[in-house]
Structure 1
Amino acid sequence: MSPDTVGLALLLLGVLLLISKLVRVKWKLTQKLYLPSSIIGGGIALLFGPDIFGRLMGLLADRGIAVGFAERAAEGGLFGVDIMSVWSALPGLLISVVFASLFLGKRLPKMRDAVDLAGPNLAFGITVASGQYVIGILLALLILVPFLNVPVVSGALIEIGFLGGHGTAAGLGNTFEQVGWGEGQDLALGMATVGLLSGIIIGIILINWGARRGKTSELDASNRGTDREQAGLIEHEKRTHGSTMTVHPSSMDPLTLHFGLVALAIIIGQLLLSGLQWMERMLWADTIEIMAFVPLFPLAMIGGIIVQIFIDRLDKNHIVDERSVERIQGMSLDVLIIAAMATLSLQAIADNFVAFLVLSVGGILWCLFTFLVLAPRIMPNYWFERGIGEFGQSLGVTATGMVLMRVVDPEARTPAYPAFGYKQLIFEPFFGGGLVTAAAIPLMVSPLVGPWGFLGIMAATMAAALFFGLVVLRRRRTKAESGAEPAPGAREQDPVA
């Protein structure tokens, strides 16, 4: 693969992102659905890829129409085989950048503060995540494996696609290949698309229902944003700096400094992964292999935490800017999503459509149940605002949860935002692309644990999270309310909520 081809592939992604932004600005439906431009661009690239445009050109070539061009397009779509090959490699690389950036620039909270404010969100989030494994594995063991001959690791697709999203699904490509089911990545990417769309569409429906029934405390019909905001633009008077110049450009550009920190986090993650793989080979690889299948990105996230610990202690001049890190993370995620969707295999989904449908419906119903039934019982106050963010994340990653919270609490007046953020610091290292997500497939195929063993682990985790949320935290709140200490983040709530 020549450097020119790699450069052209990146340039084409940039052009597609610009086109997708224009579509978002001009097409009202994409605004109402709050579709990110990267998803729109991925859809455009998929449309002109080998599975749709390529198949159409193949039909024309068979009929002798524009044979030369049609034959080339039939193999690689409009963009060609080499470009598609570069795009297919990008998600596995960029996902480490995204996860290494998660905690950089964010001062790590004290454990007590995080538990007090985010405990209910954490209990709810772990219940949903572990429950997605329980539902998925049960569907796989009882329906998909015996009747559809689908591998049992398909039971992990709900959590990988819904909570993990496109980035995690793309990053686990090598893991699916190593367990002998390469189609699993395409199904996971399809699940991520279904989850994202379902999270936004169902979330907006739930918000309208909650507003009409008086279950929301801050939402007003007049607070839905201007036309420009719905188009994904920021009003001129509301614009803020995307990052802060913490070092003088004469010495080093600030963005370069922050890229170096992200790179350091990834390298630390690679060293951790290599060390764990070496330890596994030396000690227990003959009995069970897990680390051999684990991708780099969850360890890159731990590398980011390690770097942030040193930043908290040594950065006296506050030169690390959270927003600069977010710009690097955001660009990487946009490119990752559009590249992953562009190389999605629709044929793999078509070949496993019934299994795909069963898992999608099962996952959506579970997320709806947890929001409508468990969230009001676990969340101490503002359950709708706090729960809708968790619901959005459970179907369509963190960004979807933030979008829904932005709709239901536009001025961030409730405890939903800090509770959601603190919960992420504890939740993300394990689920939604963390260590549990990375280890799920290796554990399910290992003879020592297997699918039934992993099902038992996730069922026990779900039961523990439910007990923590419904019993332990409730007793803690009751004790706090009976004393002088108020419950964290709980100002008096509007009676209609």
Structure 2
Amino acid sequence: MSPNAIGFALLLLGVMMLVAKIIRVKWRLAQKLFIPSSIIGGALALLVGPDVFGRIAGLFGTDRFAESGLLTPEIIEVWKTLPGLLISLVFAGLLMGHKLPSPRKAFRVAGPQIAFGMTVASGQYVFGLLLAILVLGPVFGLPAMAGTLIEIGFEGGHGTAAGMAGTFEEFGFPEGQDLALGLATVGVLSGIVCGIALINWGVRTGKTTELRVDAEPSVVERAGLVEKERRRSAGTLTVNPSSIEPLTLHFGLLAVAVLIGWLMLEGIQWVESKLWADSFELFAHVPLFPIAMIGGIIVQGLIQAFDREEIVDVQMIERLQGFSLDVLVIAALGTLSLTAIAANMGPFILLAVTGLVWTAGAFIFLARRMLPDFWFERGIADVGQAMGVTSTGLILLRVVDPDLKTPAYQAFGYKQLIMEPFFGGGLVTAGAIPIIANFGVGWLLAGMFALFVGALAAGLLYFGRRPVAAEEPVTAAP
């Protein structure tokens, strides 16, 4: 493959992003549903690819577009590679630039949130695995690892689903990635649609604290724009550009975090190959991105210890993450195999419905009993994140608590610090399929069920009954 082909494939992604944003600004339905531009761009890429345009052209007797649609095989190949690379950058920066809290403070502020979030995440495994054992396997002939797809697609999102491609391939379930990407798309869209519906229900029934019936996002906000008087810098110039471009500096920090994660993973895999690889292999199948997050934690620890001049800007890290995630989503959806989903439409619908019913049901019936204060604002962020991605949760939180006056934002942030290394693309997500392959589905189901019961009991019997304590003042996020 020539360098020009790689460069053109990347430039085409930029064009897709721009066209998608124009559609987002002009299309009223997309505004009402708060559909991210990256999802629209991914849908456009999918439409011009082999599974849509190529098949339509085939109906008219033209086979020249069957392999890659309006694209080229080289573009498809580059796009298929990008998600696995970019997800490591996204995960490496999840905690970078955020001051790591003390365990005591994190537990006090986010303890209820962690219990609820862990209940939702482990429940996605429990119900997904039970569905795989009782229905998907006996009726549709799918392997037991199909039960992990709800957590991978919903809690993990497109990045995690794309990053797990190698793991699915290694264990003989390549269609798992396409099903996970499809579930991630369902999750993101459902997270917004269900989230807005739940918010409307909460406002009408008086369950929200800050949002009232007369509150409505402006036209500019619905279009995905920022009003002129509320615009802020995308990042702070903490270093002089004449010495190094600030964006370059922060990219270098992410690169170091990914390299640390890669060295750690290589080291763990080497130890595994020398000690117990003959019996079973676990880390040999773990992708890089969850370990890259640990690399990011190490880099953040060094930043807190030695960055006296405070040159690391969290907004700059977030811009790099956001760019990587946008490119990742468009590339992943653009290479999604609709054939694999169509061939497994029954299991796909069952997995999607099970994930949606459990996640929304957990919010409606459990959140108020597990979260001692501001349960609606705290819970709605988790619903959005557990169905889609972190940004979906934050979108819903900003809708229901526009000025961030409740402690929900702080609690959600601390909860993410604790949960991200394990669920939604962390070590548990990465290790679930190797555990099933090496030890059997019963071990994973037993472990997730024990975690589910423990988290549920902690929320209902301890945090839910704990009297509301006076919290530290909450500062609204910029």
CA–CA separation in structure 2 for the residues paired with 1:100 and 1:215: 37
Given that residues 31 and 232 in structure 1 are in contact (C-alpha distance below 8 angstroms), is that contact kept between their aligned partners in structure 2?
A: yes
Match of 1:303 in 2: 295
Q: State the one-letter code of the partner of 1:455.
A: L
Given that residues 132 and 366 in structure 1 are in contact (C-alpha distance below 8 angstroms), is that contact kept between their aligned partners in structure 2?
A: yes
Deviations 1:15-61 (A, max 9, x none): 0000000000000100111111000000011111100100111222x
CA–CA separation in structure 2 for the residues paired with 1:345 and 1:471: 45
Displacement after TM superposition at 1:474 (Å):
4.3
Displacement after TM superposition at 1:71 (Å):
3.1
Correspondence 1:102 to 2:94: yes
Residues 96-495 of structure 1: pairs in structure 2 closer than 5 A: 96-446=88-438, 449-474=439-464, 477-478=466-467, 486-488=469-471
Moved more, 384-393 or 73-82: 73-82
Match of 1:5 in 2: 5
SS at match of 2:283: coil
Displacement after TM superposition at 1:286 (Å):
1.3
SS at match of 2:384: helix
Q: State the one-letter code of the partner of 1:212.
A: R
Match of 1:38 in 2: 38
**TM superposition outliers: structure 1 runs of 4+ over 6 Å:** none
Given that residues 204 and 213 in structure 2 are in contact (C-alpha distance below 8 angstroms), is that contact kept between their aligned partners in structure 1?
A: no
Q: State the one-letter code of the partner of 1:31.
A: Q
Deviations 1:369-401 (A, max 9, x none): 210111000101110111001111111121111
Give me the TM-score of the superposition, normalised by structure 1: 0.94
Displacement after TM superposition at 1:472 (Å):
3.0
SS at match of 1:52: helix
Specify every segment of 5 or more residues in structure 2 that has no aligned partner in the other structure, as ranges. Answer: none
Match of 1:57 in 2: 57
Q: State the one-letter code of the partner of 1:29.
A: L
CA–CA separation in structure 1 for the residues paired with 2:456 and 2:104: 20
Displacement after TM superposition at 1:72 (Å):
2.8
Correspondence 1:15 to 2:5: no
Q: CA distance change for structure 1 residues 5 and 420 in 2, over 3 Å: closer, same or farther?
A: same
CA–CA separation in structure 2 for the residues paired with 1:290 and 1:488: 42
Match of 1:65 in 2: none
Taking only aligned residues, the RMSD between alpha carbons, in angstroms, comes to 1.2
Larger radius of gyration: 1
Moved more, 101-110 or 296-305: 101-110
Moved more, 70-79 or 420-429: 70-79
Displacement after TM superposition at 1:221 (Å):
3.6
Deviations 1:286-306 (A, max 9, x none): 111110110000000000000
CA–CA separation in structure 1 for the residues paired with 2:357 and 2:383: 11
Aligned pair count reads 474
Displacement after TM superposition at 1:470 (Å):
1.8
Given that residues 157 and 388 in structure 2 are in contact (C-alpha distance below 8 angstroms), is that contact kept between their aligned partners in structure 1?
A: yes
Q: State the one-letter code of the partner of 2:455.
A: A
Q: State the one-letter code of the partner of 1:470.
A: L
CA–CA separation in structure 2 for the residues paired with 1:266 and 1:34: 32
Given that residues 238 and 313 in structure 2 are in contact (C-alpha distance below 8 angstroms), is that contact kept between their aligned partners in structure 1?
A: yes
Give me the TM-score of the superposition, normalised by structure 2: 0.97
Q: Percent identity?
A: 58
Q: CA distance change for structure 1 residues 209 and 490 in 2, over 3 Å: closer, same or farther?
A: farther
Displacement after TM superposition at 1:487 (Å):
4.4
Given that residues 116 and 488 in structure 1 are in contact (C-alpha distance below 8 angstroms), is that contact kept between their aligned partners in structure 2?
A: no
Displacement after TM superposition at 1:349 (Å):
0.3
Given that residues 369 and 464 in structure 2 are in contact (C-alpha distance below 8 angstroms), is that contact kept between their aligned partners in structure 1?
A: no
CA–CA separation in structure 1 for the residues paired with 2:242 and 2:117: 45
Displacement after TM superposition at 1:469 (Å):
1.5
SS at match of 2:207: coil
Q: CA distance change for structure 1 residues 172 and 231 in 2, over 3 Å: closer, same or farther?
A: same
